[in-house]
Structure 1
Amino acid sequence: MARLFFTQQLARFTSVPQIETSAGALRAALEDAFAINPLLRGYVLDDQGRLRANVTIFIDGRRCHDPARLDDPLQPGSQVYVLQALSGG
Structure 2
Amino acid sequence: MTHTIKDKAKLLGRIRRLKGQAEAVERALEAERGCTDVLMLVASMRGAINGLTAELMEDHIRHHVVDPATEADAGRARGATELIELVRTYLK
Q: Which has the higher contact order (CA 8 A, sep 6+)?
A: 1
Tell me whether the two structures share a fold, i.e. TM-score over 0.5: no
Select the structure that is richer in helix: 2
Normalising TM by the smaller chain, what interval? Answer: under 0.3
TM-score normalized by structure 1?
0.24
Greater C-alpha radius of gyration: 2
